[in-house]
Amino acid sequence: MLKISVHFLTTYLSVISVLCFWSKQFFWGIAFAVGATLQFLYVMSVLDRLPFTMLVLQKAVKTVWSLPEVMRVPYAFMLIMLSWMTIWSFGVAGVVASNIGYEGRWWLLVVFSVSLFWTGAVLCNTVHVVVSGMVFLVLYHGGRGSPSMPPGHCICYGSLFTAAIRTLRWEIRGIRSKIGKNECLLCCVDFLFHMVETLVRFFNKYAYVQIVVNGKGFNQSARDAWELFQSTGIEALIAYDCSGAVLLMGAILGGLVTGTCAGAWAWIRNEGTVVMVGSTSALMGMILVGLAVVVVESAVTSIYVCFAEDPSLIHRWDAEFFDQLSETLHQRLQYRSARAREVMNQRRLQIPSSLQPPAVP
């Protein structure tokens, strides 16, 4: 999954871009070309992180497979999502086949797509809450039980922002690592990065685990989770891990394959509806695949929360994995300290000697 998601997605986006240009869909051709470029730059910036990501994903899958009841959760929610999509598709089919103007149909499709995306995000985060709660109970208490569900408004509220902010954070971090010594561009990107980091404090997927464990509100749980990771240094390990981005790539790839197949069918039936049918089908496919892979992401989330709460829990579960996590965390903290000293030295060299504080004897 990791190799296909990371390497094949760039090629697939490029091929779709060429096909769009060939069929004179210049807007979509440019959009897919930009997506392929950003994907390629991101992959190049995180190549050194993929072995650690592979390790974390393998342990998460091992955890999920050891809990057969966990797999019933996404299956049930996928059936619910398919039932909702069946109803939703009648509305979309009516919009596509209506006599409304081209722009009017597009605006209606945007409204339908937002409603579907939000519904999918709510269901994904519900699965995330249930699965992460079950995994946390197993790792923390060594037994199984039913996790307490947070209020529905917490899940709906968090679903509005978490996915978009996490995706933006990954992209900015990948671009930031490739800028080099362009001070002006680096300053602008740093400003965006710090702004997104502030938003992450209030909207992150780890808040759901804190909601299950402590029963707090969403924003309070998000802040508590972030402070816990900051105080223990686990945030450096999470920033180094790309498992969430890799799983997102898998969901996007699944959506693109679905959209391509549906678009090819629409091309045969009615050439004028290719873009509409293809884009809505891609969204439907991405949400369904996302419901499947969110189980693994939830297990990764619970592993990090347990490691921050009590590292001995991970040691008791898998001593070898605990040693690998601890070693990687130590390396990342050393790297951050060295980077901070380097930045301080550069700033000190830029300050005139007359303005520098006197050396301490």
Q: 62 pLDDT exceeds 70?
A: yes
Domain identity same for 213 and 270:
yes
Q: 186 pLDDT exceeds 80?
A: no
Q: Answer yes or no: is 353 within a domain.
A: no
pLDDT band at 323 (very low <50, low <70, confident <90, very high): very high
Mean pLDDT of 227-234: 81
Q: CB–CB of 306/228 below 8 Å?
A: no
Q: Answer yes or no: is 266 within a domain.
A: yes
Q: Answer yes or no: is 64 within a domain.
A: yes
Output the pLDDT for position 153.
Answer: 46
The domain in which residue 135 lies consists of 49-144+153-171+184-345
Domain identity same for 56 and 43:
no
Q: 162 pLDDT exceeds 60?
A: no
- What one-character DSSP code corresponds to residue 233? T
How many domains in the chain? 2
- Distance of alpha carbon 297 from its chain centroid, rounded? 9
Going by C-beta distance under 8 Å and a sequence separation of 6 or more, which residues neighbour residue 186? 176, 179
Q: Answer yes or no: is 60 within a domain.
A: yes
Task: Kindly report the pTM of this predicted structure.
Answer: 0.74
Mean pLDDT of 93-106: 77
Q: 233 pLDDT exceeds 60?
A: yes
pLDDT band at 258 (very low <50, low <70, confident <90, very high): very high
Mean pLDDT of 294-319: 86
Domain identity same for 322 and 228:
yes
Q: What is the CA radius of gyration of the chain?
A: 23
Indicate the Cα dihedral angle 228, 231, 234, 236, nearest 10°. 130
Domain identity same for 114 and 241:
yes
Rounded to 5, what percent of the chain is helix, strand, coil?
85, 0, 15
Q: 191 pLDDT exceeds 70?
A: no
Better pLDDT: 101 or 37: 37
CB neighbour class for 47 (10 Å; exposed up to 12, middle 13-18, buried from 19): exposed
CA 291-296-299 angle, to 5 degrees, is 125
Q: Answer yes or no: is 92 within a domain.
A: yes
Domain identity same for 22 and 83:
no
Q: Answer yes or no: is 213 within a domain.
A: yes
Place of tokens 């598709």: 89
CB neighbour class for 191 (10 Å; exposed up to 12, middle 13-18, buried from 19): exposed
Q: Answer yes or no: is 354 within a domain.
A: no
Long-range contacts of 175-182 (CB under 8 A, 24+ apart): 175/41, 175/42, 175/45, 177/45, 178/41, 178/44, 178/45
Q: Answer yes or no: is 357 within a domain.
A: no
pLDDT band at 202 (very low <50, low <70, confident <90, very high): very low
Domain identity same for 122 and 200:
yes
Output the pLDDT for position 315.
Answer: 87
Domain identity same for 25 and 82:
no
Domain identity same for 94 and 130:
yes
Domain identity same for 133 and 281:
yes
Domain identity same for 17 and 119:
no
CB neighbour class for 138 (10 Å; exposed up to 12, middle 13-18, buried from 19): buried
Q: 129 pLDDT exceeds 70?
A: yes
CA distance linking residue 241 with residue 22, whole number of Å: 38
Domain identity same for 7 and 99:
no
Q: How many helices (H) and strands (E) does the chain have?
A: 16, 0
Domain identity same for 93 and 2:
no
Q: 14 pLDDT exceeds 80?
A: yes
Please give the structure tokens belonging to residue 111: 């409204």
